[in-house]
């Protein structure tokens, strides 16, 4: 066994224990796939990451991302949390103010603001959802036809079925049948717009479900919010800068900052805070 520096970082919050935690093993060198998966299963968090030397000369570090049930090519809050841990441990990016992460989808750029990090959302592929899948998911969620405004299959390195519902209260009231949802084999993200958001309040209420991966509900989800923003901005359904709220039903208060720049790139940002620091034996 080996000892590795370790941090557990709470993402999309400035206040500990109100965001989404990610476990970050800061030196995953020498670990097998099976060891990484076993540790991710043990942490029982939505994601556990392992930092490695990059194989791409443009990257500052490489990351592998595991859920309790398998490896992901990309995920949002692990990207921000891993970068936070890497910088906090003394990581020095090749380009000041910008970090380049290597992961399964390739290179992901992150920019450093005064109080938060933001990642450039990977390119999105989207397509219509099948009526059969929609019917199964709606039944598992308890959604009536009138409550569903539109839906899309979304994939930016991790695939989601995105559902836009009629009202934030509908989103918050959902009580999914997780066994039925798991049987679809589909990650599902639901969102609804606030008709008159407060100046400092959220524009979108979001929840994300992945029971087939061992995560009934994810507290705050970067990849989902990235793909929702890319979809909904393209359709003119949300402004080019907005805040998404996620985690209320899990007693969290996650806030995700979404912005599309002049070149059309969507950036996904949030604050992070380290809650645990030490070493782990693997």
Residue in 15, 47, 88, 235 annotated catalytic: 47
Residue 227: per-residue pLDDT: 97
What are the boundaries of each domain within the chain? 3-120+270-281, 125-263
Q: Compute the half-sphere exposure of residue 259: CA atoms within 13 Å on the CB side of its CA.
A: 10
Residue 198: per-residue pLDDT: 84
Residue 200: per-residue pLDDT: 81
SS3 81: helix
**Other C-beta atoms within 10 Å of 230: how many?**
25
Residue 213: per-residue pLDDT: 86
Euclidean distance between CA atoms 78 and 59, whole angstroms: 17
| Alpha-carbon 151 to chain mean position | 19
By the 8 A CB rule, do 123 and 73 touch? no
Euclidean distance between CA atoms 100 and 108, whole angstroms: 6
- Mean pLDDT, each 10-residue run in order, the chain (282 residues): 95 97 97 97 95 98 95 94 97 95 96 93 95 97 97 94 98 98 97 90 96 91 96 97 97 97 97 97 94
Q: How far apart are the first and last CA of the chain?
A: 5
Work out the burial of residue 231: count CB atoms within 10 Å of its CB; fewer than 13 is exposed, 13-18 middle, 19 or more buried.
buried
Residue 129: per-residue pLDDT: 95
By the 8 A CB rule, do 125 and 160 touch? no
SS3 94: coil
Q: Which element (helix H / strand E) includes 25?
A: strand 20-25
| Alpha-carbon 231 to chain mean position | 16
Residue 58: per-residue pLDDT: 97
Residue at token pair 């645990």: 276
Fold of 125-263: Diaminopimelate Epimerase; Chain A, domain 1 (3.10.310)
Q: Do domains 3-120+270-281 and 125-263 have the same CATH topology?
A: yes
Residue 158: per-residue pLDDT: 86
3-120+270-281: CATH number: 3.10.310.10
User: Which has the closest alpha carbon to 122: 53, 193, 222, 47?
Assistant: 222
3-state percent breakdown (helix, strand, coil) of the chain, nearest 5 = 25, 40, 35
- Catalytic-residue membership of 15: no
- Residue count of the chain: 282
**Ramachandran quadrant class, 185 (left: phi over 0; alpha: psi -120 to 50; beta: rest):** left
């Amino acid at each position: 066994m080996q000892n590795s520096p370790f941090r557990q970082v709470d993402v999309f919050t400035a206040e500990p224990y109100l965001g989404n935690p990610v476990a970050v093993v800061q030196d995953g060198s020498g670990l097998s796939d099976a060891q990484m998966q076993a540790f991710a299963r043990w942490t029982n968090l939505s994601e556990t990451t392992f930092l490695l030397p990059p194989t791409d000369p443009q990257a500052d570090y490489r990351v592998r991302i595991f859920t309790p049930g398998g490896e992901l090519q990309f995920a949002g809050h692990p990207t921000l949390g891993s970068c936070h841990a890497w910088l906090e441990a003394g990581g020095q990016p090749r380009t000041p103010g910008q970090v380049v992460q290597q992961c399964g989808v390739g290179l992901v750029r992150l920019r450093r603001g005064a109080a938060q990090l933001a990642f450039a959302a990977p390119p999105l592929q989207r397509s219509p959802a099948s009526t059969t899948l929609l019917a199964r998911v709606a039944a598992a969620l308890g959604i009536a036809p009138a409550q569903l405004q539109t839906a899309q299959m979304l994939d930016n390195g991790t695939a989601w079925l995105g559902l836009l519902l009629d009202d934030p209260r509908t989103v918050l009231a959902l009580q999914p049948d997780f066994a039925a949802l798991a049987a679809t084999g589909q990650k599902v993200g639901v969102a609804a717009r606030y008709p008159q958001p407060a100046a400092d309040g959220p524009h979108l209420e979001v929840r994300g479900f992945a029971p087939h991966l061992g995560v009934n509900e994810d507290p705050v989800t970067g990849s989902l919010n990235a793909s929702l923003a890319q979809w909904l901005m393209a359709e003119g359904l949300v402004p080019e800068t907005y805040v998404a709220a996620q985690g209320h039903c899990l007693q969290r208060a996650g806030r995700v900052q979404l912005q599309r720049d002049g070149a059309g790139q969507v950036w996904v940002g949030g604050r992070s805070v380290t809650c645990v620091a030490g070493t782990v034996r693997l």
